[in-house]
Amino acid sequence: MHMKRIVGVFILFFSFYSFESLAGKCETDKWTKEDGRTQAGGWIWFPGKSTDEDLQISYLKSEGMAIDRLMKECGFPHKEVKFHERCDEKVGNFYRTYVRASLTHKQCNETKYASAKLKSKILNKKLTSTHKKYLAAITKNTPFEQKACTESKPEICHRMGKYAFQ
């Protein structure tokens, strides 16, 4: 009889709450599930995701990741790059943040083939500065080789796994 009550409560609970309502508020937005660059209607979007105990640092890492992806394809951030989509949620002691940088195909091509003179006009200095802060935040000013996960440094592997899990 006791087991029937537990099953009944369980069924009642899930009849009122779907799995989507149990997910984080950001996970219900389709764009937060994207792991790579997307495009449509002449626009390109570069996602960035991060987790940190500090909300501002998490946003810095998310924006930096998006800018890093953009720079790999376009060369440098165009002055018209925008972060229209942003979302954050608290997960335990951590904040999970999502951002998406956007620019047009034309703007990306303009940065790829810009002369030095044009680059000085269309370079987004604020996003370039954000990218530098991002690189410092993820490396803590330590050379990457010293932070690499190797058999001789299992504690670093553990930290990387914990970060990825969070």
pLDDT in tens, 95-153: 999 999 999 999 999 999 999 999 999 999 999 999 998 888 877 755 544 555 666 66
Segment 3-50, tens digit of pLDDT: 555 444 444 444 333 333 334 688 788 899 888 899 999 999 999 999
Instruction: State pTM to two decimals.
Output: 0.70
What is the three-state SS of the chain? CHHHHHHHHHHHHHHHCCHHHHCCCHHHCHHHHCCCCEEECCEEEEEEEEEECCHHHHHHHHHHHHHHHHHHHHCCCECCCEEEEEEEEEECCEEEEEEEEEEEHHHHHHHHCCCHHHHHHHECHHHHHHHHHHHHHHHCCCCHHHHCCCCCCHHHHHHHHHHHHC
